[in-house]
Structure 1
Amino acid sequence: MQILHSNGFTEEEINEKKAIVYNNLVTSMCTILKAMDNVLHIPLEDSEKEVRS
């Protein structure tokens, strides 16, 4: 909302938010990868690639 109703963020606010966004990105990616393997049973490797090797 601050971007829409204000003049954006200060440099200090940008640097603070950058760390939060990066942490959220890494956490979300780990959660997705774990779910692919454990819940959805989607293999993380390419089985055709193993045959070609």
Structure 2
Amino acid sequence: MSYAERLVARARRAKTIELVERLLTEGRVRVAGEDQFAECRKVIDYAKRH
């Protein structure tokens, strides 16, 4: 199984798409807490790598 087919990769890709759509519609995204910030950081890092 390739990395792109793994559950974690598909979930991060979905979150990346969601975050980009929010940025396009709202112009900025507010992060409520440390946990959400860490998750957004992982999504952004994933998007930069792929």
TM over 0.5: no
Q: Shorter chain as normaliser: what TM range?
A: 0.3 to 0.5
Higher RCO by CA contacts (8 Å cutoff, separation 6 or greater): 2
TM-score by length of 1: 0.41
Relative to its length, the structure with more helix (as a share) is: 2
